[in-house]
Amino acid sequence: MSVAKDPKAQANQSLQTGIRKGLTRYGDTEFSLFLRKAFIKAMGYSDSALERPIIGITNTYSDFNPCHGNVPQMIEAIKRGVMQAGGMPMVFPTISIHESFAFPTSMYLRNLMALDTEEMMRSQPVDAVVLVGGCDKTIPAQLMAAASLDIPVLSIPTGPMLTTLHQGDRLGACTDCRRYWGKFRAGEIDQEEIDEVNGKLAPTTGTCMVMGTASTIACMVETAGLSLPGTAAAPAVMAERFRLSELTGRRAVELAKTADQKTFSPRAILTPKALTNALTVLHAIGGSTNALIHITAVAARLGIKIDLDMVDQLGRNVPVLVDLKPSGAHYMEHLYEDGGLMAVLRELKPHLYLDCLTVSGKTLGEEIEDAKVSKARKVIRISSDPIYPVGGLAILRGNLAPRGAVIKHSAASPDLLKHRGRAVVFSSLEDLALRIDSPDLDVNADDILVLQNAGPKGAPGMPEAGYLPIPKKLAQAGVKDMVRISDARMSGTAFGTIVLHITPESAENGPLAVVRNGDMIVLDVSQRLLHLEVDDAEIRKRIDALASPAERLAIPESGYRRLYQTTVTQADIGCDFDFMVPSMTGTAPVLKGR
């Protein structure tokens, strides 16, 4: 028997704020408030403090997360800003994920962090939340949570590291991690030098100081309007990072006091136009391929479908304007010196929806106009003199990728963007590790390296394994790049002619699963083509001979891995849990013309 809900009680509940919000259910609301106050007073809070708007602050710090090493200081600055504006700051912990410390991969834990963050925000009396994130998957997880819950939030990234020098060569994690590791594998440098480099690649706390996934996401979030201007580029250890933290705390209180909080909720800010702006910037900064999966997941939680063909069309009209590694030569500290993201957006104005509202209360166009203009430019190009004539990413299709694949062609070898080669197949990550450096491996520089079963379900977690190493015997012969394809991801810091996110993945019995050694593959980026030169009947025959995905995956009977492998979606939907994705009610629009 259903019990009718009291409309008056529901209205009163929706109007509750601060300490009265989301009371624990004991069957007596007055007792719930009495008990809550009693226990919070054990922390030394006064009644006056408890009457203020409560601003939640996520604490993503961990001893395993050097990218978040400045979080304690950022939190203190945020708290200072909250109290200046008359709010009550309340810090709460969530999962902390770092790419190189997460097994089997940080992507495997992104959805778990999103659930954790959402329920922590839902279950605690917060009027607004400051989301502090940094290393690759943390901000996407937080935005996925915010999109599902839809209360006012401001995102502030931890910021990029600073760089240092090695024998006159400026180093940056982790593009230069891969560059020097390639030299070491090729025998160009010895153990002593690689050890010396190892101690210099990450000289300060903060995220990678190249245009990797962390910096890409920070730029896209600032563009989309969920963080304040300047927050994407200010280095992690500079005073400006902490001043921006304080400002974010103050603004969070202002949002909490807004009569209609829905005005500045994630759903109101992250409109299809705002998401299109973010995708435009993804192309213009030569951003990470990972970001495409993350923004797709965030959009999906809002009921918005990111169409890959639209993403590709955006890239055909937007040049790469930022000369940062891995697409260029410089680092995030130089982008900061050039005026940060707002200086890039100034060059992109004809390509942007300038009327989008941001959490600052201004439109994106107003923020661009208010931003200071740097007289000297080191890394930001004007539209007529780009780093790369079209956007950084391209979407590929063909019989190998019926639902799409992605390549970061701005960081690829131009001579390999149209290539036909023989497949050299590795059936798994374990197979790759066992055979890639074997002197008996049948491989030459014109071949195409193929990695199977490294996707969302197959790995599991879609690790950053798409950057297959050059076989040692070829590396020692001077080979620097080869075409490599997989259903895995690639670090945003990586470079090379690498095709990623092939969908459907091998573990779902997609066509990639039936590629065999010696098959010929054609890559033609200008035609957006990825084609296996095997006739359709033979491909179908090979697929039919495979065991079912359920049999091949050997999914455990319990635990998080079971939840993940039975519910994670494919890359073109964002690799979220299927039960977290509502039915699609709209699509992001195509880029507007001038």
Integer angstrom CA distances of residue 481 from 86, 275, 325, 437, 499: 56, 33, 16, 15, 13
3-class SS of residue 567: helix
Same domain, 462 and 536: yes
Q: What SS3 state is found at 330?
A: strand
Per the listing, tokens 């009610």 go with 585
pLDDT of residue 379 exceeding 70: yes
In a domain, 484, yes or no: yes
Question: Helix, strand or coil for residue 388?
Answer: strand
* Same-domain pairing of 246 and 329: yes
Cis peptide before 575 (omega within 30 of 0): no
Sign of CA dihedral 561, 567, 570, 574: negative
pLDDT at residue 590 in the model:
42
Q: Tell me if 26 is assigned to some domain.
A: no
- The answer as to whether 190 is a domain residue is yes
Q: Is the pLDDT of residue 216 over 90?
A: yes
Q: Which token pair is 556?
A: 């455990």
CA distances from 515 to 128, 436, 451, 539 (A): 50, 18, 10, 9
- C-alpha 489/C-alpha 59 separation (Å) is 27
Q: pTM of the predicted model, to two decimals?
A: 0.94
DSSP 163: P
Distance CA 302, CA 298 (A): 7
Cα-based torsion angle of the residue sequence 182, 183, 189, 192 in order, rounded to the nearest 10 degrees = -30
> Do 181 and 277 lie in a common domain?
no
Q: Which residue has the higher pLDDT, 547 or 588?
A: 547
- 181-207 in b/e form (b: 16+ CB < 10 A) is bbbbbbeebeeeeeeebeebbbbbbbb
| Type of residue found at 529 | L
**Interatomic CA distance for residues 279 and 502, integer angstroms:** 20
Question: What are residue 454's phi and psi, to 5 degrees?
Answer: -125, 25
Q: Identify whether residues 326 and 407 lie together within a single domain.
A: no
How many Cβ atoms sit within 10 Å of the Cβ of residue 473? 16
- Tell me: do 183 and 251 sit in the same domain: no
* Crossing angle of helices 213-224 and 272-284, rounded to 10°: 140
Final residue before a domain boundary, out of 139, 174, 198: 198
Number of compact structural domains in the chain: 3
Same domain, yes or no: 364 and 257: yes
Structural domain ending residue among the three candidates 154, 176, 198: 198
For 447-485, the pLDDT digits (tens) are 999 999 999 999 999 999 999 999 999 999 999 999 999
Per residue in 495-506, pLDDT (tens digit) is 999 999 999 999
Do 458 and 505 sit in the same domain of this protein?
Answer: yes
Q: Around Cβ 25, how many Cβ atoms within 10 Å?
A: 8
**Residue 210 carries which DSSP code?**
S
The pLDDT of residue 588 is above 80? no
pLDDT at 13: 45
Structure tokens at 32: 């719930």
CB 298 within 8 A of CB 130: no
Does 183 reside within a domain? Answer: yes
Please check whether residues 326 and 260 belong to one and the same domain: yes
Q: Please determine, for residue 594, whether its predicted confidence score (pLDDT) is greater than 70.
A: no
pLDDT at position 14, please? 45
> What phi and psi, each to the nearest 5 degrees, are found at residue 50?
-75, -10
Which CATH number covers residue 467?
3.50.30.80
Please report whether residue 21 resides in a domain. Answer: no
Mean of the per-residue pLDDT values of the chain? 93
Tokens of 416: 């390999």
Instruction: Please report, for the domain that includes residue 312, its CATH number.
Output: 3.40.50.2300
Q: What is the pLDDT of residues 381-392, one digit of tens each?
A: 988 899 999 999
Tell me: do 140 and 249 sit in the same domain. yes
> Do residues 210 and 276 both lie within one domain?
yes
CA-closest candidate to residue 335, choices 231, 228, 201, 213: 231
The Cα–Cα gap between 182 and 179 comes to: 5
List the one residue out of 68, 208, 222 whose CA is nearest residue 143. Answer: 222
Per-residue pLDDT tens digits for 531-540: 999 999 999 9
Please report where in the chains the tokens 């090979």 appear, as a residue.
Answer: 542
Distance (Å, whole) CA 108 – CA 130: 24
Residue 356 lies in a domain: yes
Tell me which of 271-280, 376-385, 524-533 is least confident.
376-385
* DSSP label at residue 10: H
The answer to whether 181 and 198 are in contact (CB under 8 A) is no
Residue 425 has pLDDT above 80, yes or no: yes
Q: Are residues 125 and 188 in the same domain?
A: no
- What does the pLDDT look like over 181-205, one tens digit per residue? 999 999 999 999 999 999 999 999 9
For residue 380, tell me if it sits in a domain: no
Do 160 and 333 meet the contact criterion of CB atoms below 8 Å apart?
yes
351 and 484: one domain? no
Where a domain ends, among 554, 571, 586?
554
Q: How many Cα neighbours within 13 Å face the side chain of 428?
A: 10
CA-based Rg of the chain, rounded to a whole angstrom?
24
Q: Compute how many other C-beta atoms are within 10 angstroms of the C-beta atom of residue 154.
A: 26
Question: What pLDDT, on a 0 to 100 scale, did the predictor assign at position 172?
Answer: 85
Of 23, 3, 24, the closest CA to residue 13 belongs to: 23
User: By residue range, what is the domain housing residue 168?
Assistant: 164-198
In a domain, 454, yes or no: yes
Per-residue pLDDT band at 374 (split at 50, 70, 90):
confident
Question: Which tokens hold the place of 180?
Answer: 């020097």
